[in-house]
Chain A
Amino acid sequence: MADTVSRFIPATGPEIERMLNVLGLSSVDDLIGQVVPRGDMFQGSLPMASPISEPELVHELKRLALLNTHTDQVLSFLGAGAYKHGIPSAISHLVDRGEFLTAYTPYQPEISQGTLQAMYEFQTMVCELFGMDVANASTYDGASALAEALSMAHRVLRGRRPRAILAGAIHPDYRATCVTYSRAGPISLAHLPPRRDGRVSIQDLSRQLDRETCCVAVQSPNFYGLLEDLPVICPLVHDAGALLVVVVTDPHACALLRSPGELGADIVVGEGQALGIPLSMGGPHLGLFATRRRYLRQLPGRLVGRTVDSQGQRGFVLTLATREQHIRRARATSNICTNQGLCALMVSIYLSLLGPDGLRQVAMQSHSNALYLKKAISALPGFDLVYNAPFFHELVIRTPVPAARVVEEMLPDGFFAGLPMDRFPGGRSHELLICATEVLGKEQMDSFLSRLARFRGNATPARGA
């Protein structure tokens, strides 16, 4: 008897019978038998467990949650594309309202004005962050946003320039995503490794730039936390007739620094997680995507626009859908349909709570904390800084023992000490990427530093003793 009662399925036995009567059938099996050929039907039983109650479910998932160690139980110095900043409580209370949480894409604007107005506000705030003219209503994450940006640049230049240059230290996952997206597409990727100081080599870049290049993508702050020299890079790229794509993985940086738009970027993509979205093991996060107005028609993803109703009242609708897959099909600017609407809403609420000052203070405190670590670590025997260029809130340090060992040995003492760079192809074994945000206190950083200091002894034997 398959008609088991579920608390999410209201139909009772007698109601099922009433419906079957209307259909002139005597059982649900008869109905399905009318539609599904016998040979197609699954005859076995699914190798899955039986239904359980909510308390049992909660118990089981709490048990699994306890098998994890999370970032509130230790001191975490992990960043590298996912950042632990303070998250206002109001955000989850607001996005958990059923009217936001359980609405679909706002295809019927008269009864979706809440989502639509919030997305119009979101688009405006993303433009302000990045100093750009237009932003879409979000994409999946920073990595896929970058892959989409390369295709967009290729379209903007009418497909005549097949090459995209990924310059300097771009997040390895972002790079890998671009490689995968380009497997079948018309774009060939050129990788321009960072020079010794961890940043884009201007000489190499100008040598690489040619009439085949549709765009140059630069992450700043880059994967090592360093600020790229965009004021120099940008005119170089434009002189070659290419577009500059700037990637931002923690938009707090934009509160402190001249915006990518001000520096001349044509497309800015980023990861919005740092702005009020829980880490959640890497997703759902949020792809940010902004550009110049003149490239609007090549923008992927949904857009919300202002309009009026039949009475002339202000309202908002999804617009410029002729770029999108449900209208343009094979010739759409992207296949994207579902985006990250609720995450965009989280970021909107975060930005409206923090405002320009709050955002700047978070950025300043994060930077100051990282600067504090930088100074202290450079004075630790056996440790060193790998790069010395201006940075935001992440830095790569050279460790006296393999970085993976630092991470492993510090874990039992309650630290996520950072990300060993040799996790990535070409990464060096004694380099550790660390991150500081505003939520780390001075005492916590001091305990991290004194634990780090203990590595010097078992690495290099003290000389001259």
Chain B
Amino acid sequence: MSTVKTTSGTNGLLQSEPLLFERSVEGRTGWRPATSGVPLADDLPEDLLRQAPMRLPELSEPEVVRHYTRLSQWNYSIDTGLYPLGSCTMKYNPRVAEDLAALDGFAQLHPWQPVETLQGALHVMAFVEDSLKALTGLHAVTLQPAAGAHGELLGLLLIRACQESRGDPRSKILVPASAHGTNPASASMAGYQAVEVPAGPDGILEVDTVARLMDDQVAGLMVTHPNTLGLYERNLSSICKVVHEAGGLVYGDGANLNALMGIVRPGDLGMDVMHFNLHKTFSTPHGGGGPGAGPVAVTQELEPFLPVPVIHRGDPLTLEWDRPNSVGRVRSFYGNFGVVLRAASYIMEMGAQGLTHASRMAILNANYLRVRLSKAFEVAFPQPCMHEVILTDRLQRAHGVQTIDIAKRLMDYGFHPPTVYFPLVVPHAMMIEPTETESLDELDAFADALIQVAREAGQQPDTLKSAPSRPSLGRLDEVGAARFPDLRYDFDSTQ
């Protein structure tokens, strides 16, 4: 291990920290609420009043701050190190965006304010809409969906509304086998039966396969481009034609847009609807699982169906509510404005050249890792990739070592593991997306660590199987957690 540069965060002091409820001491508090000068009074009917007090923790502010600071130190994060989760685009999140989102002029805006008091915010939103149009070549954008999967649901509802208005409602939708699970799940929620499309032997969708599956009940195709194998769907423009000729529409899952900015515009290939993950491509922080934002771009034909309200570009900017063909709305208010604002700050600073450079460097970094790792591991698809590359554990399985063991051992070298066991079409996949914000040094350290782990797989497989050893906890029992679900603190028994 000494030959490999490690960046493990476990070298420092790690505190143990109980649950909030175990720290609680009756009578403490961490907040003095505002008092208005109006005496407390209530006229509420007795039978509606709470009797038993809530069992929330009672803690002073220093205790709460310490609690969460200690918890934070148990997390790996982009700020800690390389976070190579495939199809998650864990790139660095510029700090300035946090400052800007916290400006009173944005953070203290109430969604029901008169529209003339929201002009700056609407400009920010219009800027992001226009930027997404520019990057995709599509016609109109809504910022309302709160996350990628939310955008998928909306996008499919738009397709449904459009085909219904053509007098041609349909019941099925094609989804490649390599798609994210959200695609078939969104299809179900939008009332479609998902029909799986197999890729060719080289991982690429073939025109004939799609053509064979298209019929008058197929609403269209959901496609991730580049796909989750990290490969460029080189037949896509022909596939779009085939789908269109059969009366279908093409939905683009934008999870992997980080590979395309300034290089390819999905709208030019024939995509009709596309969602974006602002928390991937546009650098807004993932926050341990959100909030994200999942705007959707569409062609001119689909624009009338967009959710309300839409921004009307007059002077001043206004919000248009009266849109008779709109599908309605998929959430309250105007979407995750705070996330949209962070994306705006990223796009503004990067500009056209910066975004293009980001995609180019993302592709270069992934291909560099592909080549560096191609001796120690099986590369699932050896051809040049886009922004991510998939390895498997085939070479290591001879020693009884699996993908999960490799992933856990990587933690001991100070790295977050790649996405594992996805996509499902590649058995025991390790999907690596380094992003453009990693330096060559960091890429080399990561590759060295993986190569060292591969070596250990032959020499000391048990080390891998019992990994990790350096985090504060060892491998966790996920099977037991699912078998006996304990999902909340039990106040009535000592745990």
Contacts and interface: CB of A to CB of B under 8 A. Distances in A.
Interface string A419-445: 100000000000000000011111101
B4 interface: no
B487 A134 contact: yes
Given A2-B356, A72-B104, A41 B264 contact: yes
Interface string B315-335: 000000000000111111111
A342 B285 contact: yes
Interface string B15-56: 001011100000011111111111111111101111101111
Given A46-B262, A281-B333, A442-B37, A40 B269 contact: yes
Contacts of B468: 110-111
B357 A310 contact: no
B277 to A, nearest CB: 8
Interface in B374-400: 383-386
5 closest A-B pairs by beta carbon, nearest first, are A282-B333, A65-B105, A342-B287, A184-B191, A98-B79
Interface in A165-202: 171, 173-174, 176-177, 179-181, 183-185
14 contacts: A11-B365, A22-B371, A48-B355, A50-B352, A135-B487, A140-B146, A183-B191, A257-B44, A305-B485, A306-B495, A320-B485, A335-B185, A338-B277, A352-B30
Nearest to A333: B185
Contact of A320 (B45, B137, B482): B482
A457 interface: no
B56 A352 contact: yes
A324 B181 contact: yes
B107 A94 contact: no
A124 B488 contact: yes
Nearest to B78: A102
A80 B110 CA distance: 10
Interface stretch (A115-123, A156-164, A395-403): A115-123
A151 B106 CA distance: 34
Residue among A49, A106, A142, A355 with max Cβ neighbours from chain B (10 Å): A355
A283 B48 CA distance: 31
A462 interface: no
A124 B489 contact: yes
Contact of B104 (A52, A70, A102, A114): A70
Contacts of A461: none
Interface stretch (B68-76, B209-217, B456-464): B68-76
B186 interface: yes
A50 B353 contact: yes
Interface stretch (A28-36, A203-211, A234-242, A377-385): A28-36
A413 interface: no
A259 interface: yes
Nearest to B385: A35
B248 interface: no
A86 B34 CA distance: 7
A40 B264 CA distance: 6
B295 interface: no
A303 to B, nearest CB: 6
A112 B76 contact: yes
Contact of A70 (B109, B153, B363): B109
Interface string B84-99: 0100101111101011
Residue among A22, A113, A283 with max Cβ neighbours from chain B (10 Å): A283
B200 interface: no
Contacts of A317: 476-478, 481
A317 B478 CA distance: 7
Contact of B117 (A68, A106, A296, A371): A68
B152 interface: yes
A128 interface: yes
Residue among A69, A84, A352, A371 with max Cβ neighbours from chain B (10 Å): A352
B337 A368 contact: no
A355 B336 CA distance: 28
Nearest to A115: B288
Contacts of A51: 349-351, 353-354
Contacts of A258: 47-51
Given A68-B105, A108-B417, A438-B34, A308 B157 contact: no
A264 B266 CA distance: 50
Interface in A312-354: 313-317, 319-322, 324-332, 334-343, 345, 349, 351-354
Interface string A138-152: 101111100000010
Interface in A2-24: 2-4, 6, 8-11, 15-16, 18-20, 22-23
A86 B33 contact: yes
Contact of A368 (B38, B194, B347): B38
B276 interface: no
Contact of B31 (A99, A108, A259, A354): A354
B427 interface: no
Contacts of A142: 332
B446 interface: no
Contact of A335 (B186, B288, B334): B186
Contacts of A259: 50
A354 B56 contact: yes
Contact of B68 (A65, A94, A329): A94
B440 A19 contact: yes
Nearest to A20: B364
Contacts of A256: 42, 44, 49-50
Interface in B159-195: 160-161, 180-182, 184-194
A305 B56 contact: no
A335 B157 contact: no
A355 B58 contact: yes
A113 B11 CA distance: 17
B147 A310 contact: no
Nearest to B117: A69
Contact of A58 (B64, B90, B92, B100): B100
B184 A329 contact: yes
Contacts of B283: 8
A150 B193 CA distance: 21
A78 interface: yes
A254 to B, nearest CB: 7
Contacts of A359: 54, 56
A283 B72 contact: no
Given A10-B439, A22-B368, A99-B80, A108 B110 contact: no
B338 interface: yes
Contacts of A127: 488
Given A32-B363, A69-B117, A337-B149, A180 B157 contact: yes
A359 to B, nearest CB: 7
Interface in B399-455: 407-408, 411, 416-417, 419, 422, 436-440, 442
